[in-house]
Amino acid sequence: MNFFASKKTGRGWLIFFTALVCRLLHLVAVKDFIPFKNLLGDVYFFDQFAWKIATGAAHSETLTATLTPVYLAFLGACYKLFGHQLLVPRLIQIVLGSLSCVLIYKTGKILWNRAAGTLAGFIAAFYGIFIFYDAELRKPCLVNFLLISTLYLLSKVSAKQGITRWILAAIAFSTAASLRMNLAIGLLAILLWSVICLRRTYKRTDLLFYLSIFMLTFFVVLTAWRVWFNHVLPRQEASFEESGLHFYIGNHPDATGTYGRVKGIRAGALGHTQDSRKIVETEFRRPVTNEEINRYWWNKGVRFILENPSRWIALEAKKLFLILNAYEIPNDENFDFTRRNSWFLSFPLLSFGWVAPFGFLGIFCLRKEKNPAAYLLPLILGFYIFSLLLIFVTSAYRLPMQIPLILLAARGILCLRETWVSKKAGLFGFYCGVLFFFFVTVNRVTFLPKYRYDNFMTVRIERTQKQLTQQQARKLSSQKPRGAILTSSSPASSSPRSSQVS
C-alpha cells in the first residue's frame, strides 16, 4: 500500500508537500531568532546528554535533570549519524510533522470519507502551533506523530482484524506515553472504546486476545525504554518521571492552573531534580529514593485537595477555562513571542480558536455515526482533558488533544454543510447555536497577563545575547580574528552558562 496514495488526485502527496513547505518557510524565518539559535531551558540538557550518548561518554556522566528517554534516543541517533548539528533533528521533525498531516488525512478518510480526510489534513498543514513545534528541538512533534499513528492504526483495526496493527498501535502509543506521561491515561479510553464499540466486529474471545496483546506490548515497550535509559545513563540523580511534582505544581495553595514555580524549587530541570530532593530529604532527615520523592509530592498534592475542597474546585474550573481557551500558554517556549518574530507564523494561520469550536461541534455530529472507530476521538479527548485537570495547562501539554479536535473539526464543518444542503432548518439552527457557544467560550479573553511572559522571555533573550557578546569579546582579545565575528549556533561552542536558563 502506497502511504501517500489517493486513487484520483494524489492528495496525500499534496498535503505532505504543503505541510513541508509551510514548516521550511518558518524554519527560514526564525533562523536568526536568538531562542532558536541558542538552547534555552530543558532543551540544553537534552542536547548535552544526547551528545554524550552519541559519543559514548554518557556512562561516566551523572544525569542531573529529568529527561525522557525517547527524545534523548532521537537526538542521540541524529548526532551519532550526522554529528552535533542542530539543523538535522529539526529537519527530521519537519518531515515527521508533514507525515503527521498525511496520517491525519488518511485517518479522516477511514473514519468518514475523502473530503473529511482532505479537510483535516490541510487544517493540520496550516495549523500554526503544529508548525511552531515541528521546528523546535522539543518533544511535541514526536508526540503528535506517534499519537496520530496510533489513531490511524486503531481506526483500521475497527474494520479489519489483524494482530500486526494492534502491536504497532501499542508500540506507537507506549512510546508517545513515554514522551508525555499523562497521555498514558488514554489507555483507559482505548480499552473502553474497544469493549463498547468493537463488540459487533469482533468475537468476545478474539477481542480479549487482541486487547491482551495490546496491553502486553504497551507495558513491554514502556519497560524497554526504561531499561535502555538506565543502561546508557547508569548514574542518575534525577527521577525517571516527575508525575508527583507535576501533580503538586497543579494542586497547591499558590497554583494558578498553569505552570508556576513552587516555593523553594527553581523553575527548570535542575530545580525539579535538586531542589525537590533537598526539600524531601530535609523533611525526612535522611537520603531518599526517587520513588519516595515522587510519592511525597503526590501525597502533598492530595493533602491540599482534601483540606481545601472548595478552593480546589475553583482551581479545576480555572484549568478547564485554560484548556478550552484559544491562548497558547507559554512555558520555556513561547508561541506568541515567536510568532511576532517569524514573518511566516505572523500570517493568519489556523489556530485553536478557530478549530476547537468546530471540533466540539463535530462531537455532536457523531450521534448517528456508523463507523465505531469515530467514537475513539471524543474518548481520547475527554480522558486527556481529565489528565490536564490533574496537573496544569501549557501549550505543549495541551497539544495532543488538538489532533482529535482537528479530525472532529473536519467532521463538524462537513456536517454543517450537509445539514444546510439538505435544508434541515431546525438541526442547522441547533448546530449553529452549538458552534456559536463554543466559539464565544474558546475565544474569550484570558485572565493571564500575556506580556508578563513576553517580558520574562525578553529578559532571558537579552541576558543570553549579553553573555554571547562577552564571549565574542574574549575571543577577540585572545585569538585576534581577522574576519567578521558571527554568533555561533553550535551548542558545542556555547558554555552551559550561555545556554542554560536557571
For residue 73, which of 237, 268, 227, 246 has the smallest C-alpha distance? 227
Enter the DSSP assignment of 271: I
Examine residue 128 and state whether it is found in any structural domain, yes or no: yes
Query: Quick check: 276 and 64 in contact, CB under 8 A?
Result: no
- What the block records as the C-alpha cell of 151 is 489513531
Between CA 238 and CA 10 the distance in angstroms is: 48
Examine residue 492 and state whether it is found in any structural domain, yes or no: no
Question: Looking at residue 445, what is its pLDDT?
Answer: 72
Q: Is the pLDDT of residue 498 over 60?
A: no
Query: Quick check: 222 and 48 in contact, CB under 8 A?
Result: no
Examine residue 292 and state whether it is found in any structural domain, yes or no: no
Over the stretch 282-292, which tens digit does the pLDDT of each residue have? 888 888 888 88
Query: Quick check: 331 and 456 in contact, CB under 8 A?
Result: no
Query: Quick check: 138 and 396 in contact, CB under 8 A?
Result: yes
Domain holding 33, by residue range, is 11-237+322-452
Question: Looking at residue 458, what is its pLDDT?
Answer: 52
Tell me the average pLDDT across 269-274: 79
φ/ψ of 174, rounded to 5, equals -65, -40
Examine residue 433 and state whether it is found in any structural domain, yes or no: yes
Tell me the average pLDDT across 432-461: 69
| More reliable by pLDDT, 45 or 481 | 45
Tell me the average pLDDT across 196-222: 92
Tell me, what amino acid is at 240? F
**Helix H or strand E encompassing 62:** strand 62-63
Q: Is the pLDDT of residue 493 over 50?
A: no
Q: By mean pLDDT, which of 51-65, 247-261, 314-328, 447-461 is the weakest?
A: 447-461
Tell me the average pLDDT across 118-138: 96
Examine residue 476 and state whether it is found in any structural domain, yes or no: no
Reported confidence tier of residue 34, pLDDT bands at 50, 70, 90 = low
**Helix H or strand E encompassing 213:** helix 204-232
- What the block records as the C-alpha cell of 78 is 541524529
Question: Looking at residue 262, what is its pLDDT?
Answer: 86
C-alpha dist (Å) from residue 326 to 147, 363, 391, 413, 432: 22, 19, 19, 19, 19
Examine residue 91 and state whether it is found in any structural domain, yes or no: yes
Q: Provide, rounded to the nearest whole percent, the portion of the chain with pLDDT above 70.
A: 86
- Count of helices and strands (H, E) across the chain: 24, 2
Determine if residue 460 is left, alpha or beta; phi over 0 gives left, psi from -120 to 50 gives alpha, anything else beta.
Answer: alpha
Over the stretch 64-77, which tens digit does the pLDDT of each residue have? 777 889 999 999 99
Would you tell me the crossing angle of helices 186-197 and 204-232 to the nearest 10 degrees? 160
**Helix H or strand E encompassing 460:** helix 450-479
Count Cα neighbours of 446 within 13 Å in the Cβ-side half-sphere.
21
Predicted TM-score (pTM) of the model is 0.87
Name the domain count of the chain. Answer: 1
For residue 138, which of 185, 109, 180 has the smallest C-alpha distance? 180
Map residue 235 onto helix, strand or coil.
Answer: strand
Read out DSSP for 121-146?
HHHHHTBHHHHHHHTSSSTHHHHHHH
Query: Quick check: 24 and 135 in contact, CB under 8 A?
Result: no
Q: Alpha helix (H) ranges present in 30-139? A: 34-37, 42-55, 69-82, 87-111, 114-125, 128-134
Examine residue 155 and state whether it is found in any structural domain, yes or no: yes
C-alpha dist (Å) from residue 83 to 16, 43, 79, 222, 376: 27, 17, 4, 28, 41
Over the stretch 157-191, which tens digit does the pLDDT of each residue have? 987 778 999 999 999 999 999 999 999 999 999 99
Q: Is the pLDDT of residue 145 over 90?
A: yes
Tell me the average pLDDT across 458-476: 63
For residue 376, which of 211, 174, 188 has the smallest C-alpha distance? 188
Instruction: Provide the β-strand partners of residue 63.
Output: 236
CA angle (67, 69, 74) in 5-degree steps = 110
Examine residue 199 and state whether it is found in any structural domain, yes or no: yes
